[in-house]
Structure 1
Amino acid sequence: MIVPVRSLVRSKALFAEALTLIPGGVNSPVRAFRNVGGEPFFAERAAGARVWDVDGNSYVDYVGTWGPAILGHAPEAVLRAVGVAAASGTSFGIPTAREVEMARKIVSWVPSVEKVRMTSSGTEACMAAVRLARGFTGRDKLIKFEGCYHGHGDSLLVKAGSGALTHGEPDSAGVPAAIAGLTLSLPFNDLAAVRAAFEQNRGQIAAVIVEPVPGNVGLLLPEPGFHEGLRTLCDAHGALLIFDEVMTGFRLAKGGAQEGIGVRPDLSTFGKVIGGGFPVGAFGGRAEVMDCLAPVGKVYQAGTLSGNPVAMAAGLAQLAELERLDGFRRLEEVGAALEAGLRGIFAKSARSGSVQLHRRGSMFSLFFTAKPVRNCADAMASDREVFRKLFFGLLERGVYIAPSPFEAGFLSLAHGADEVEETLRAVAEVVPTL
């Protein structure tokens, strides 16, 4: 049964106070709901596929803390592991067995990774991977793709996605022009542009960094041959290929997006799922590249809380449950069911010719446009007002999708037939009003 959201009085009061204490009232820009023209609700608790706000409203959640909650919220196995780990101490600044266990797990699941190092966030992982690529190659320039978000490091906030797009500011103030000038930002799915960039910057490009399946400009799908072409061009020009799998790693498959694509990058970055809901990041790849890191090499990277024992315990428990529950097969099944239901609803509506539904495994996006969405420019041309109406229509019916057309949606193992059915009923009610 669809239960309308009745009140957001406490959320409104908390947001009003937060605005006086926190810039914009939030600790990450996308949470401010700016791209849908409203104010955020404040969460109180979450369990399974649902989240409850401070006013007692319940929502079927398709944000999933922006990706980490692949088992659903508050999974028992993760909570138990966290309790055991925390009881022994929350941080040591000394190596622990769990760090070795996590490294072993990542190396065994991702064939391109021979050695790995933990960080405290995906941003740190991407910053370190870029520095490592520059140190290994002795070059300075970087190729990235418009709308791909690799964290908020200076080199990577050039035509970035995620919060940079949803905030309406594709580039950030405070990034020196000299640093931004070392980053070449190109259209996704455009090998000709990459080829031209290499030709025009011969011997200068250290790496190409890409989300193999971008999820920070909505969900973009790579065209056949795109990643194979990147691999070929990097090899031909002596550059490293970096896959940013902070979002897709351990979500789309055991080996991440690269498993399905069949291309081995030189370096990969991870986060989200491997932390079980705790702050975490990692980067890894070829041993000869990774061995350029201090203390054995000259590329410096460090972190007080890197490999935090509680985060490692949470992540290991989450990965173990994914494996035990045959998680990736089940996620594909629920994703396919949701996709089929959504396609059926839109096919019967007045919007049938003006909506693009993208899905890969447990990630999905809707773009309100008649034109195929291949890249960031196509995504930006979609109808944001229609998305805004969809967002609030679903929110009022207890279904929470990302408060931006430029963010992917996430399913979890806690989403079952009941949650999908409830969601589709809500969508069926809202679509005629768009």
Structure 2
Amino acid sequence: MPTNRSQALWERAQRVIPGGVNSPVRAMKSVGLNPPFIRRAQGCYIKDADGNRYIDYVGSWGPMILGHAQPDVIEAIKAAAEKGTSYGAPTEAEVILAEELCRWVPSLEMVRLVSSGTEATMSALRLARGFTGRELIVKFDGCYHGHGDGLLVSAGSGLATLGLPACPGVPAAVAGLTLSLPYNDLAAAEALFAARGAEIAAVIVEPVAGNMGVVLPVEGFLAGLRRLCDAHGALLIFDEVITGFRVGPGGAQELFGVMPDLTTLGKIIGGGLPMGAYGGKAQIMAHIAPEGPVYQAGTLSGNPLATAAGLATLEFLAGKAVYPRLEELGAMLYNGLEGLFAAKGLACFGQRVGSMMCFFFQPGPVTNYEQAKQSDTELFSRYYRLMLARGIYFAPSQFEATFVSLAHDAAAIDQTLSAVADALKEL
């Protein structure tokens, strides 16, 4: 729990940083705490400014699939840094990373590197509009695609955590170009396309929602979106910023066998450093400048440090036993938690894909944002505080995912489950 040093840093931070944090959910407002300030991380552990150690299931919100300070990644970053930290010019490493992304992700023929997942989704939508000559974008309630103006309509993540229905500063004219539908409601999408299909440039969707808690696509939902887009000349965009390289080597599109026209990536592909990418069919990507008229640029795009970290991460993930091990560890934690909650008699509904999972504090089922919002957030807050006090660092929000890394082992998971069992005695 945050104590003297973290509290002092928290007070200083609030004087110079809005809300004391540089990304809203970190403030821990929804769970009634002031945040611990993290000093260092190693493997599956993080340590705060007061020396308290926690088993970490946030993993920097997803990127740390290998664990913190993984030796191969650190060595790659050091080697790259010794040659210079940024050039603003092409490098061989970014070509290799682009080739690797196209090799791993089934729908990618060409890819453009950027510096964040938000930048990737904003750029993909501009490209979709430029390619189709249309303006409307369709998204789904509770899906978060970054903080671009047109994407904060019925968004998840921090807006869900803080209970914000909308964002001031987004012009109504911009918001009006985004149409939001219930997640997993293919009938609603069919009705919208029947009415306005000729105006729709693209549908953007998290193939596994990870920003209203973890919500799986129902049978036929993703394939139905693919058919609708094909029938009406719209592009299908999969936001795989979270699921890319997390739910499997080829992402959710490989897992579910549905190929989008464009894919956005982030988190894992930077190995813990700022990195994003968007890509897809060559004929669409050819519309990006300097080859085409759709402009997008970035001073630090393809940054050599982030590129090196990403390549080292992908090289490690290429090991034959990696994804089976992640599945094993994810199942170990999930099954243990499910059993403990059931034994306590708690109304908890869980969902898991590989090494990402979530338990909603309600009986379920949860297939969309409206159902997710029925969760008992006060009960979750009490649970969260009890767990943090026992050295377990989950995401401080009912509406975020829990991530397991390769650095977690049976001992860490057993320690976690023992802490949960102890905490449930007080819940």
1:304 equivalent to 2:291? Answer no
Structure 1 residue identity aligned to 2:293: K
Rounded to whole Å, the distance in 2 between the matches of 1:183 and 1:287 is: 26
Rounded to whole Å, the distance in 1 between the matches of 2:320 and 2:77 is: 20
1:72 equivalent to 2:67? Answer yes
1:10 equivalent to 2:12? Answer no
Structure 2 residue identity aligned to 1:187: P
Rounded to whole Å, the distance in 2 between the matches of 1:326 and 1:153 is: 38
Rounded to whole Å, the distance in 2 between the matches of 1:326 and 1:238 is: 41
Higher deviation after alignment, 362-371 or 25-34: 362-371
Q: Specify the SS of the correspondent of 2:39.
A: strand
Structure 1 residue identity aligned to 2:193: F
Alignment equivalent of 1:224, drawn from 212, 219, 225:
219
Tell me the TM-score normalised to structure 1 length: 0.97
Runs of 4+ in 1 over 4 A off after TM superposition: none
Structure 2 residue identity aligned to 1:209: I
Alignment equivalent of 1:57, drawn from 29, 52, 57:
52
Alignment equivalent of 1:171, drawn from 160, 166, 169:
166
Matched with 1:34 is: 29
Rounded to whole Å, the distance in 2 between the matches of 1:190 and 1:128 is: 26
Alignment equivalent of 2:41, drawn from 46, 71, 75:
46
Matched with 1:270 is: 265
Does the 8 Å contact 1:113/1:285 carry over to 2?
yes
Which ranges of structure 2 fall in alignment gaps of 5 or more residues? none
Does the 8 Å contact 1:161/1:170 carry over to 2?
no
1:152 equivalent to 2:147? Answer yes
Matched with 2:425 is: 432
Pairwise CA distance, 1:186: 0.6
Structure 2 residue identity aligned to 1:368: F
Rounded to whole Å, the distance in 2 between the matches of 1:76 and 1:332 is: 22
Structure 1 residue identity aligned to 2:164: E
Rounded to whole Å, the distance in 2 between the matches of 1:337 and 1:22 is: 39
Matched with 1:409 is: 402
1:8-65 CA distances to partner (integer Å, 9 max, x unpaired)?
1111110011001000000000100011121110000000000000000000000000
Pairwise CA distance, 1:432: 3.1
Pairwise CA distance, 1:326: 2.6
1:383 equivalent to 2:376? Answer yes
Matched with 1:126 is: 121
Structure 1 residue identity aligned to 2:362: T
Pairwise CA distance, 1:325: 6.1
1:396 equivalent to 2:389? Answer yes
Higher deviation after alignment, 197-206 or 171-180: 197-206
Does the 8 Å contact 1:214/1:220 carry over to 2?
yes
Q: Specify the SS of the correspondent of 1:201.
A: helix
1:102-134 CA distances to partner (integer Å, 9 max, x unpaired)?
001000001200000000000000000000000
Higher deviation after alignment, 64-73 or 7-16: 7-16
Rounded to whole Å, the distance in 2 between the matches of 1:120 and 1:346 is: 40
Alignment equivalent of 1:282, drawn from 277, 280, 283:
277
1:340-376 CA distances to partner (integer Å, 9 max, x unpaired)?
111211221121xx11011111101110112311111
Rounded to whole Å, the distance in 1 between the matches of 2:165 and 2:148 is: 14
Q: Specify the SS of the correspondent of 1:348.
A: helix
Rounded to whole Å, the distance in 1 between the matches of 2:423 and 2:125 is: 44
1:343 equivalent to 2:338? Answer yes
Alignment equivalent of 1:369, drawn from 322, 338, 362:
362
Rounded to whole Å, the distance in 2 between the matches of 1:295 and 1:350 is: 60
Q: Specify the SS of the correspondent of 1:151.
A: coil
Alignment equivalent of 2:187, drawn from 188, 192, 206:
192
Rounded to whole Å, the distance in 1 between the matches of 2:190 and 2:129 is: 20
Does the 8 Å contact 2:136/2:202 carry over to 1?
yes
Matched with 1:239 is: 234
Q: Specify the SS of the correspondent of 1:269.
A: strand
Rounded to whole Å, the distance in 1 between the matches of 2:204 and 2:88 is: 31
Does the 8 Å contact 1:271/1:282 carry over to 2?
yes
Does the 8 Å contact 1:33/1:403 carry over to 2?
yes
Q: Considering only aligned residues, what root-mean-square deviation do their CA atoms show, in Å?
A: 0.9
Pairwise CA distance, 1:378: 0.7
1:227-284 CA distances to partner (integer Å, 9 max, x unpaired)?
0000011111110000000011011111011111100000000000010111010000
Rounded to whole Å, the distance in 2 between the matches of 1:403 and 1:207 is: 32
Q: Specify the SS of the correspondent of 2:197.
A: coil
Rounded to whole Å, the distance in 1 between the matches of 2:241 and 2:197 is: 29
- Figure out how many residues of one structure are paired with residues of the other and give that number: 427
Matched with 2:96 is: 101
Structure 2 residue identity aligned to 1:272: K
Rounded to whole Å, the distance in 2 between the matches of 1:339 and 1:28 is: 28
Does the 8 Å contact 2:24/2:158 carry over to 1?
yes
Structure 1 residue identity aligned to 2:71: E
Rounded to whole Å, the distance in 2 between the matches of 1:372 and 1:99 is: 43
Does the 8 Å contact 2:106/2:253 carry over to 1?
no
Does the 8 Å contact 1:350/1:432 carry over to 2?
no
Matched with 2:135 is: 140
Rounded to whole Å, the distance in 2 between the matches of 1:238 and 1:383 is: 41
Does the 8 Å contact 1:33/1:39 carry over to 2?
yes
Q: Specify the SS of the correspondent of 2:382.
A: helix
Q: Specify the SS of the correspondent of 1:10.
A: helix
Structure 1 residue identity aligned to 2:352: R
1:20 equivalent to 2:15? Answer yes
Rounded to whole Å, the distance in 2 between the matches of 1:406 and 1:347 is: 21
Matched with 2:349 is: 356
Higher deviation after alignment, 159-168 or 36-45: 159-168
Structure 1 residue identity aligned to 2:319: R
Does the 8 Å contact 2:114/2:298 carry over to 1?
yes
Pairwise CA distance, 1:419: 0.7
